[in-house]
Structure 1
Amino acid sequence: KIGPNSGTPKPETPKPETPRDNNVRMEDVETIPDANSNAPVLDASSS
């Protein structure tokens, strides 16, 4: 597998990292707008 798949480690890497990426992205997305849009978020909520 290492030989023939040596050039195809991409599909195997994204597979296990897919769930992690999704979780990280979800957290990052919520953390980024939350921290960056702390003021705007509160304003929007108040509005």
Structure 2
Amino acid sequence: MKAARALFARELSLAWGGGGGPLLACGFLLCLTAILPLAAGGDPRVLA
């Protein structure tokens, strides 16, 4: 378990050390989930 945690921490530090690439992907997905209901239409029955 300790080795898996160390591996995860290493991979996470490598991903975030690259210059913000993961943050850009998270921002894109956040915008996508905000815009998708608007593309489906404003009808409450469709959104529910």
TM-score calculated relative to the size of structure 1: 0.42
Larger-gyration structure (1/2): 1
TM-score calculated relative to the size of structure 2: 0.42
